[in-house]
Structure 1
Amino acid sequence: MDAASKKPVIGVIGGSGVYELEGLSDTRWQTVESPFGQPSDDLFIGQLDGIEMVFLPRHGRGHKIPPAGINYRANIDAMKRAGVTEIISVSACGSFEELLSPGTFVIVDQFIDRTIDRKKSFFGTGLVAHVSMAHPVCSRLGDKLEEAAQNEGIKVHRGGTYLAMEGPQFSSLAESELYRSWGCQVIGMTNMPEAKLAREAEICYATVAMVTDYDCWHPDHDNVDVSTVISVLVNNSENARRLVRSVAPELSKRTQSCSAGCHHALDNALITSADARDPERVRKLDAVAGRVL
């Protein structure tokens, strides 16, 4: 079903420090089966003033799954099966710039993917597709998030490049300086291949990167460690929940397909001819690519 013909459903993927979504009514934890394996957790589904919301803790409740162990394909597929049309990704990150101090929310617009051991596409042998990642996040969602953050008095920076590293270790000083020389603004471990898969699933996607530290490049700050990150996460998580509650009503007003083209990302992406497609792969893609299959 085309996104224009259904009411928007707002999905939130919560990263480090954001393990629940408060303030919803008619809530339930719902198991969603995926042909791509086990999602990080059940989906927390509820209503926010009549707006359907779907929340997924990226690392599972209790933060049990490391970045490289997350089944990103199952997570995005499950969100799609739950009817999600827009995803707000909330993620902790390190900063490469002095002005992006801990507590700042960065609405990124680009990624550099340095992950090496993750399944990065729903497509493959038997059904090949190539989606554009030139502009990897939804500018429409970014506009709404920036406005909502400003209205809530949250320190926000619009634009920037997110360097996705494999982890789970933090950067070496040499790596940190290299990524700064590339012009990156923030660094994290989880938004790739999440953003790529959301694009393949024709779901609008935007990242709110919550700065917790200066990585290890800053001469006047200690090297990043877990205790430092957690102390900042406490404040960031409450601001993240405020931001989601503020932006959801604006996102729910959409009455047609995304103006940025996210809901039609597969229009010209499939390259395998219909008579050569693997039936089993087509079956697995019933939710992700059902609109064009």
Structure 2
Amino acid sequence: MDRIIGVIGGSGVYDIAGLEGAMWQAVDTPFGAPSDDLLSGTLNGVKMVFLPRHGRGHVHTPTTVPYRANICAMKAMGVTDLVAVSAVGSLKEAYAPGDFLIVDQYIDRTFAREKSFFGPGLVGHVPFAHPTCARLSAACAAAARTTGTAVHEGGTYVAMEGPQFSTLAESRLYRSWGADVIGMTGMPEAKLAREAELCYACVAMITDYDCWHPEHDAVDVAQVVATAMANADKARALVAALPGLLAEPAQDCEAGCGHALDSAIMTAPAKRDPELMAKLAPVMGRVL
């Protein structure tokens, strides 16, 4: 099976020099339209698919991002390896604005989003102790190092609902939990990617120190945008390096990402909702 790399990120991430046959196309899903059209093309012999998480022009809030449609669209495009590039705040002194962190754990504090493809009539529970793919994360770390930026491997991402930034009390609480970075879009994206049996990795680009740091002002949009723009070139370089690290044909992931649904479905076959099963076919057709 050919490897297809998917990238979900900000507006600057998909402007990759050398992307051959680049084409924007609309993708319809049973969960509605994704955040935007998807850009597909070939880079160094590897097919890639890009999706602006908030839509071009940043039209979706962290809560209104159509996460299920986004993951379903990526699955429909044949993506095997999905890389999320996300702006985050740092909760630790050692992780400075401009650094990259390769996420390997999450704390989900979101509460107003659809977090699963499953529902009444088809109940399922996927394993999620290790929410990212170690193999893909290692490739992302190697790609990040080619950009010359500081790279931290492994860290916990607190996903907050937003769109407001944290209160000082919240920021201090998350630090007391041992979390490393905080953002608004990591969940339910990672959960849905697991249900779709996609290898998933998250590259967190640090833009600020949240509001806990006594020597830095409270977070504001201008600060976040300025640092994110400064990181844009590094983000593009990271993405451009991925095909060289993931050029071999796709095989079964050692972590079992591609078989997350093997024993996930609880609903007895006779009790499964045919309409929901048809809706989930593009995501879970392998087991349905």
**TM-score band, normalised by shorter chain:** over 0.9
The reply to whether residue 283 of structure 1 matches residue 278 of structure 2 is yes
> What code does the residue aligned with 1:22 have?
I
Measure the CA separation in 2 of the matches of 1:102 and 1:262: 31
| Structure-2 residue corresponding to 1:18 | 12
The reply to whether residue 116 of structure 1 matches residue 111 of structure 2 is yes
> What code does the residue aligned with 1:46 have?
G
| Structure-2 residue corresponding to 1:76 | 71
The range that moved more, 84-93 or 139-148, is 139-148
**What are the Cα deviations for residues 105-152 of structure 1, in whole angstroms up to 9, with x where unaligned?**
000100000001000000011111100110000000111111222233
CA shift, 1:230, in A, is 1.2
Selected match of 2:246 from 236, 248, 251: 251
> What code does the residue aligned with 1:58 have?
R
> What code does the residue aligned with 1:32 have?
V
Measure the CA separation in 2 of the matches of 1:129 and 1:21: 37
| Structure-2 residue corresponding to 1:205 | 200
Overall identity of the aligned pairs, in %: 59
SS in 2 for 1:288: helix
CA shift, 1:20, in A, is 2.7
SS in 1 for 2:190: helix
Contact 1:19 1:61 in 2 (8 A): no
Equivalent residues in 2 for 1:180-259 (5 A)? 180-259=175-254
Contact 1:29 1:42 in 2 (8 A): yes
Normalised TM-score (structure 2) = 0.97
Equivalent residues in 2 for 1:131-210 (5 A)? 131-210=126-205
SS in 2 for 1:38: coil
Measure the CA separation in 1 of the matches of 2:250 and 2:29: 28
Contact 2:97 2:227 in 1 (8 A): yes
| Structure-2 residue corresponding to 1:3 | none
Measure the CA separation in 1 of the matches of 2:145 and 2:33: 37
Measure the CA separation in 2 of the matches of 1:161 and 1:49: 32
**What are the Cα deviations for residues 50-88 of structure 1, in whole angstroms up to 9, with x where unaligned?**
211000000000011110011100000011001111110
The reply to whether residue 49 of structure 1 matches residue 35 of structure 2 is no
The range that moved more, 273-282 or 73-82, is 273-282
CA shift, 1:231, in A, is 1.1
Contact 2:80 2:250 in 1 (8 A): no
The range that moved more, 266-275 or 183-192, is 266-275
> What code does the residue aligned with 1:62 have?
G
Contact 2:99 2:206 in 1 (8 A): yes
Contact 1:7 1:252 in 2 (8 A): no
Normalised TM-score (structure 1) = 0.96
> What code does the residue aligned with 2:196 have?
A
Contact 1:96 1:186 in 2 (8 A): yes
What stretches of structure 1 of length at least 5 have no aligned partner?
1-5
Measure the CA separation in 2 of the matches of 1:180 and 1:232: 22
**What are the Cα deviations for residues 18-63 of structure 1, in whole angstroms up to 9, with x where unaligned?**
3533221101111110101121001001110221100000000001
Measure the CA separation in 2 of the matches of 1:48 and 1:39: 23
The reply to whether residue 30 of structure 1 matches residue 30 of structure 2 is no
Number of equivalenced pairs: 287
Measure the CA separation in 1 of the matches of 2:260 and 2:136: 16
The reply to whether residue 91 of structure 1 matches residue 62 of structure 2 is no
Q: After TM superposition, which residue ranges in structure 1, 4 or more long, deviate above 3 angstroms? A: none
What stretches of structure 2 of length at least 5 have no aligned partner?
none
